[in-house]
Structure formats: structure tokens, C-alpha cells
Amino acid sequence: MANHHNSTTDPNSGFCSQTKIYHSFRPTTPLPPLTTPLSITDYLFPHLNSSPPPTTAALIDATTCRRISFPDFARRIQTLTSSLQNRLHLSKGDTAFILSPNSLHVPILHFSLLSLGVVVSPSNPASTKPEISRQIHLSKPVIAFATSETAAKIPSLRCGTVLLDSPEFESLMTRPTTGDNNNNKRVTVNQSDTATILYSSGTTGRIKGVELTHQNWISVVAGVFAARELRSSPAVVLCTVPFFHVYGMGLFMRELAMGHSVAVCTGPKFDLTAVMRAIEEFRITHVALAPPVAVAMTKGNLMDGYDLRSLEVVACGGAPLQRSVIVKFKERFPNLQVAQAYGLTEVTGRVFETVGLKECGVVGATGKLLSNSEAKIVDPDTGIGLPPMMPGELWLRGPSVMKGYVGDVAATTEILGSDGWLRTGDLCYFDNEGFLFFVERIKELIKYKGYQVAPAELEYLLHSHPEVADVAVAPYPDEEVGQLPMAFIVRHNGSTIDEPQIMDFVAKQVAPYKRIRRVMFVDMIPKNAPGKVLRKELIKLALSKTTSKL
């Protein structure tokens, strides 16, 4: 897609006053013609073989110190591809369900399946049996890849379940069956074929299966090649985010394609000290985090005693990061880039990101539009496209927009217009320099007497209170006014702050309609894996408490 920069496009914000569309000023990499058959694996493979020195580790297990070099990584993918074809008899159009925590096997498995045109459908290993049966109902897999921990949750499938932590799987990756290479049938994968089905967290309504094509993934990686900064040595990227999430999957595809090393912590539980140890031991240059982890890193003296000087970039996505956290990182590491991004599963991960020290210095921004994408900010009430500095719903268009929700035409048409625009449901605005600022999920706006109150704004205020360890604000139903802004507060140890003090603290700083009307003190704020607050859970909790009092 060409960048339509003409006289009506503002050279700073990228906003075209005629079409009301925002354009990207990022460098572009031409995408292969859509008619060329090409899987994401085949698109990446030339890069895998050409870029890094052969001794470079493609994958590092930060827990066991095991390394897989780039040549070995490529060999394993080729051997596993032939085993999947000849031993497990998988073929194009089949779906494989994957239920595994992060491990070195996952990227190898993904690339092998994708090169055969097998649809990859990973799920959170913490999913319950009912959630998994709903997901399997959507994606209709013929085979599952699981671990000895998770396998019991999977119903019986036509080709069974393969354990990733078994000797059998190791041999599928390393032992070519005799004569295999002769009967490897060349598979023609079209870019428009489905590559992955990822499950959207289902924060609104039922779990949905997001169908992403090979072209979707190719366009995402192409955008990264265009904006890459040349390095004297490969980056070493610690991925603490799950591979079953679009953030983690996009991360290992991008980084491996650029010849960087990807390190993963494979311990049973997420452990922050393991992250610190890994940064020190493997000279990690980039670490990818969800916001709760970034917050935890800056608390107390957790980072003391570790040599973290190799760290260049902390990348944070999944939910907005508080300003106070960014400031603390900056105090601690003056040269560190705290990079933020904005994306959705429905657009194959990130479409906005901050690149380089200067952009990362724009506090609160989630980045600039990536190449190949277009955006609009639309007034939710009138449907009119808005200029910079005016908040509205963010719409996105481009080659990374999903095919749709699998088996759910109604949900697909609700979010995806016939003109290719995807409505994100997020309230955002562009500034005059083309940076995107996220305000709130439109559905999460609290409607108080017809006024719109953004929970994020009140949470931001409350986070600045010295006695508040964590906070979420959610809409509490009320017959008279519609919804009341209610704060759920986790106190710092030893704090005795009470409801009137919280209310008073906020009331002094906001318009009357934004005031906190109820407070509840809790031990922790429930969040999903990428760090988004589960506000519905909090409201359920509050309602159950009030009914028991009556």
C-alpha cells in the first residue's frame, strides 16, 4: 500500500484533512504480491539463514541454559516438518491445537506447522476444560500438542495428543525418518490461507477465535524489517510474555527473522528474580513485559544486586503503563528506552510502537503508526472522522487486519466493515506529531448522569497516592445515575487509609461528575495474562458484598 502523502496530508501528524485518514511516515518494505503462494515460514526462512553468525543462539532457555543455534533451529524445523507430514500425516488445512507454557519447542513447532499450511491454534495452558472445549469447538483441530501437565484437559482428537516434553517429540525434530526427504510433498500455501486461530481474551462476551492469515503475519514482519536499526551484534531478547498470545507469537517471529536471540524463562511459575538473573547471565538487551511485571520491577529494591547494564530496551504492551512506572525506570536506567506499543489480536499484534530514545521519551504515548497501516479517529456518536487532539474510536485498516472471527459472521460484521476498516472499540486520539494516546475502552467508560468518566484517568490519579499499592476503577450500577465510579484499592503494607480519605483525595483534583462514589479495599486486583484489569470480576465482587450486608 502506498503512503498517500499529498498536499492535504499534515507532514507531522500524518492526518489527511480530505479523507480524515491518518497515514504512516515509517519506512516501508514492499510486500510480496498477494498472488504469490508463500507461507510465513517460507517468507522468514531466507532471513533466518542469512543474517546472524552461525554460532548465534536462536533460542535460549533461561531456566536450563540450553541453547539452540540458528543452523540447528533451521534443521529442526525442516526435520519436524517432514515428521509432521510423514509420521503424523498432517496436511494443509488441518488445525493443530497447542496447550503449552513457553518453551524452546513452541517456535520450532509453529514454524513447522505453518510451512505445511496447518493452522496453528494455541491456548492459555491455564484454560479450564470448559474453555478448552469451547475453543476446540471453534477451531476443530485434528491433533493437539501439549505437555504432560496440560494434556489431561484435552478431549480425544483424530490424531491424538503429542507431548512436547517427551522423547518422542525430540525425535520428531531430530531424527529424519529414512527416505523422508524423497516423499516430502511440496505444499502450496497461499498468503490468504488461515495461518493461526488465536483466542481473544473474551473480555466482552464469549471467547472468539481470531483468524489470521499468512499475509497478516508477513505484513507484520515486513514492517519490522523496514524500521530495524542496524546493530553491531545480534540483540538478545527476553520474552516474558506468553507465546499463545499475539504479543509473544509476534515477538518470536519478528526477532528470529532479524537474526536476534530469543530467551525464555521456562520455570513452572513466573518468577521475577529469574528474570533479573537471566538479564545478568545472558546479557539481555531487550526485555518484553506486560505492565504488571514492569510495575513489580520498579517496586522496592528488587533490582538491586543484579548487573543489568546490558539492558537497552524494556518493551511493554498489552495494557497502558502508568507514568510513574516509566519515570522510575528512567531514574534507575537513564539510557534505557521504555518502548510502548498498541495492538490487538484482530490486527495481528502491534500497529503502533515507539522506536528509539526520542520517541520513547514521549511519556504516555503508545507510539506511531507502523508502515502499511492506516487509521481513523471516529466520533462514536456521529461517525465523523476527527483531526488530531480530539478523542474518538480508533479504526484501523491494512494488510494486518484479520480475516474474521472463526464461525461467527455476526461478531465479524460488528467489528469489521465491508470497506476493510476494523473498529477497535478503544477511545484514543492522535497528537499533532502523530503519536497515539490510548484513553479507555469505550465499553469501559462509566456513564454517570450521562457524563462519560474514563476509569484510566481516575486510576492514574489514585496510583499517585503514596499509600495505594494498586487500584482499579469500575462502574457500579445505580438506578438513579446509571453508574457510579467505584474504586477498588490495594493498600500498601501498614497503610490505614480509609474510604473518606480516598474520595477526598480524588474530589480535590477532578470535576464533580468524575468523583469516586464508592470504595472497596481488596487484597489484589484481578488481571488477565497481558495485564488488563478484569473490571467485571470486581463489580461481581462488590455486588455480592452489598447483597450479603442487606
CATH of residue 530's domain is 3.30.300.30
The letter for the amino acid at 543 is L
Please check whether residue 475 is in contact with residue 446, taking contact to mean a CB–CB distance below 8 angstroms: yes
Task: Please give the tally of structural domains in the chain.
Answer: 2
Give a yes or no: residue 432 inside a domain.
yes
Q: Are residues 416 and 457 in the same domain?
A: no
Give a yes or no: residue 11 inside a domain.
no
Give a yes or no: residue 543 inside a domain.
yes
CATH of residue 248's domain is 3.40.50.12780
Last residue of a domain, one of 407, 436, 465: 436
What values do phi and psi take at 473, rounded to 5?
-120, 135
The helix (H) or strand (E) run that includes residue 162 is: strand 161-163
Q: Which residues of 527-542 are buried (b: 16+ CB within 10 A; e: fewer)?
A: bbbbbbbbbebbbeeb
User: Which among 495, 473, 493 has a CA at the least distance from the CA of 484?
Assistant: 473
pLDDT value, residue 317: 77
Give a yes or no: residue 7 inside a domain.
no
Give a yes or no: residue 399 inside a domain.
yes
Q: Are residues 340 and 476 in the same domain?
A: no
Last residue of a domain, one of 436, 470, 497: 436
Give a yes or no: residue 54 inside a domain.
yes
Q: Are residues 243 and 199 in the same domain?
A: yes
* Distance between CA atoms of residues 457 and 361, nearest Å: 21
Give a yes or no: residue 505 inside a domain.
yes
Determine the structural domain holding residue 514 and report its residue range. 448-549
pLDDT value, residue 318: 66
Q: Are residues 428 and 460 in the same domain?
A: no
CB-based contacts of 488-494 (< 8 A; 24+ apart in sequence): 488/519, 488/520, 488/521, 488/522, 488/525, 488/538, 488/541, 488/542, 489/462, 489/519, 489/520, 489/521, 489/522, 490/521, 490/522, 490/523, 490/524, 490/525, 491/467, 491/521, 492/466, 492/467, 492/468, 493/469
The letter for the amino acid at 451 is Y
- Give average pLDDT by consecutive 10-residue segment, the chain, 550 residues: 66 96 91 96 82 88 96 95 96 97 97 98 90 93 97 96 97 80 78 96 70 96 80 92 92 93 87 91 94 79 86 83 80 86 93 90 89 94 94 96 95 92 95 93 80 83 92 89 92 94 92 91 88 86 70
Q: Are residues 416 and 533 in the same domain?
A: no
Q: Are residues 354 and 474 in the same domain?
A: no
pLDDT value, residue 2: 46
Q: Are residues 421 and 471 in the same domain?
A: no
Give a yes or no: residue 362 inside a domain.
yes
Q: Is the dihedral of CA 497, 503, 504, 507 positive or negative?
A: positive
pLDDT value, residue 59: 97
Q: Are residues 289 and 346 in the same domain?
A: yes
pLDDT value, residue 203: 45
Q: How many CA atoms lie within 13 A of 151 on its CB side?
A: 14
Q: Are residues 369 and 302 in the same domain?
A: yes
Q: Are residues 339 and 265 in the same domain?
A: yes
Last residue of a domain, one of 436, 466, 486: 436
Q: How many CA atoms lie within 13 A of 189 on its CB side?
A: 27
User: Which among 23, 29, 20, 19 has a CA at the least distance from the CA of 11?
Assistant: 23
Q: Are residues 460 and 420 in the same domain?
A: no
Q: Which residues of 377-410 are buried (b: 16+ CB within 10 A; e: fewer)?
A: bbeeeeeebbebeebbbbbbbbbbbbbbbbeeee
pLDDT value, residue 474: 92
CB atoms within 10 A of CB 201: 16
Apex 530 CA angle, 161 and 366, nearest 5: 135
CB atoms within 10 A of CB 367: 23
Q: Are residues 389 and 490 in the same domain?
A: no
